[in-house]
Structure 1
Amino acid sequence: MLRLLTIEFHKLKYNRASKVLSIIYFGLLTSIALIAAIKFEFGNFKLHLADAGIFNFPYIWHFNTYIAAILKFFLLLVIVSMMSNEYSYKTLKQNLIDGLSKKEFILSKFYTVIAFAGISTVFVFVVSLVLGLVYSDYNEFAIIVSDLEYLLAFFIKLVGFFSFGLFLGILVKRSAFAIGAMFVWLIIENMFRGYLFWQFNENEHTSNTVDKFMQFLPLESMTNLIKEPFSRLGAVRSAANTMGETFTKSYSVDFTNILIVSFWTFVFIYLSYKLLLKRDL
Structure 2
Amino acid sequence: MPRRRFHSLISAALLSCGLICNLSMAQQVLRVSAIPDEAPTELQRKFKPLGAYLEKKLGVKVEFIPVTDYAASVEGLINHKLDMVWFGGFTFVQANVRSRGQIVPLVQREEDEKFQSVFITSKGDINKLEDLKGKTFSFGSESSTSGHLMPRSYLLAAKINPDTDLKRIAFSGAHDATVAAVAGGKVDAGALNISVWEKLIAQNKIDTKQVHVFYTTPGYFDYNWSVRADMPSEMQKKITEAFLTLNPASPQDKEILELQRTKRFIPTKTENYKAIEAAAHNAGLLK
TM class, shorter-length: under 0.3
TM-score (norm 1): 0.24
Q: Going by fraction, where is helix more abundant, 1 or 2?
A: 1
TM-score (norm 2): 0.24
